[in-house]
Amino acid sequence: MNHINEISAFPEGWYFVANRASILRENLIEKTWMGQEIIAWSDGEGHICVAEAYCPHLGSHLGPTVGGRVRDGCLVCPFHGFEFDRTGQCVATPNAPAPKAARLSVYRTREILGMVFAWWGVGGRAPQWDLPDDPPAGAEWSRLRSTKLRFRGHPQETTENSVDVEHLGYTHGYHDVAPTGTISIEGAYLRSCFDFTNVNRFAGLFNITSEVSAVTHVHGLGYSFVEIQEKTIGLDARLWVLPTPVDGTFVNLVLVSQLREIRKPGRFFAGLGFLPVRLRHRLINCFFLRQEKRYVMQDVTIWERKRYQPRPRLCRGDGPIGKYRRYCRQFYPKLQPEKPGTAEIESTRP
């Protein structure tokens, strides 16, 4: 296997596109992923559509910056006014019957707590696995909060973090990092767990020494979900780490956090007791996400300048990097082109 190609190609999987709320607010959004232009809109009946951004008629870009818009749930091309429904089918033109063959390529979508994901398959193939259901919700869970980063990187490298135990102490300054059990792999699902101790400064006021247990659920390289249990003050948090390749060089990484009401507020809230619970909750989620972003920025410094080592010279203290790399191979299937010279697969590989 050519590992250099492996890391430079796009791994197939489910990737974050946008939040439902922002698609509804803007009606139509455009973005670049996997080196391709895509658009997303809502059909007005609750379905989110993600499609290629070029019109099958004469090739206009369909994004809002060019004049694409949504009317009665259909996407309207800015060039000659062809209309497309949520399946991508052209259903009307201004002066002639809609040509049956005019159809936009649409991507399969899945939604988790309002986060919209779309499947990108090698050679355009259908989803090979599904994303998990929504995690249990309840009034005790805060609203989601998210932040975005864009840097030179690759989702295989960013996800490798969750099994790279050594860097947790060395790069991030965690203490007593200890894997709890071995990583488990089942198809596209990988689970890893570890405990650590960490010192955080809250709002510049006081330090909290936290004992933390983290369980990471990886469902392909575009979707990692981390369940975090902080034992000192009884804080349960959820963190989604969602890297989407922009092109062969840059990645958009969205971090999303959600917090459960603190079980043992005690001294921690001594100075915040005057705040209503919901506001306290929001404040702590904001603080939590800021801390997580700070840790990720430490990784970004490394990621942006690192080189992929196909044969890393590992030491005994490393996590199960080899196992993780073998898990990743399934995301770069080598499909046979249907006819010699049809290079749809090659075209995705820089």
Strands 235-245 and 224-230: antiparallel
Of the pair 161, 192, the CB lying nearest Fe ion is at: 161
Of the pair 20, 80, the CB lying nearest ligand FES is at: 80
The span from the CA of 27 to the CA of 146, in Å, is: 20
The span from the CA of 201 to the CA of 219, in Å, is: 32
Least gap, CB of 312 to Fe ion (angstroms): 16
Beta-bridge mates of residue 93: none
What residues numbered 156-175 form the site for Fe ion, per CB under 5 A?
Answer: 161
Q: Which stretch binds ligand FES (CB under 6 A): 79-87, 160-168, 215-223, 328-336?
A: 79-87
The interface partner of residue 60, options being Fe ion, ligand FES, none and the CB cut-off 5 to 8 Å by kind, is ligand FES
Burial class (CB in 10 A: 0-12, 13-18, 19+), 156: buried
What x/- string results for residues 283 through 322 when contact with ligand FES is judged by CB under 6 A? ----------------------------------------
The span from the CA of 12 to the CA of 118, in Å, is: 11
The span from the CA of 191 to the CA of 196, in Å, is: 17
What x/- string results for residues 42 through 61 when contact with ligand FES is judged by CB under 6 A? -------------x-xxxx-
The interface partner of residue 42, options being ligand FES, Fe ion, none and the CB cut-off 5 to 8 Å by kind, is none
Of the pair 47, 293, the CB lying nearest Fe ion is at: 293
The interface partner of residue 55, options being ligand FES, Fe ion, none and the CB cut-off 5 to 8 Å by kind, is ligand FES
Task: Name which of 139, 99, 124, 158 is nearest 306 in CA terms.
Answer: 158
- Interface with ligand FES, residue 37, by CB under 6 A: no
- Look up residue 14 and give its amino acid: W
Number of residues that bind ligand FES (CB under 6 A): 10
- Interface with ligand FES, residue 77, by CB under 6 A: yes
Q: How far is CA 83 from CA 42, 44, 94, 103, 111, in A?
A: 14, 15, 9, 10, 25
Token pair, residue 143, equals: 């609203």
Of the pair 80, 323, the CB lying nearest ligand FES is at: 80
Question: Of the candidates 299, 328, 331, 348, which one interacts with Fe ion according to CB under 5 A?
Answer: 299
**Cβ neighbours, 10 Å, residue 183:** 19
**Site residues, ligand FES (CB under 6 A):** 55, 57-60, 77, 79-82
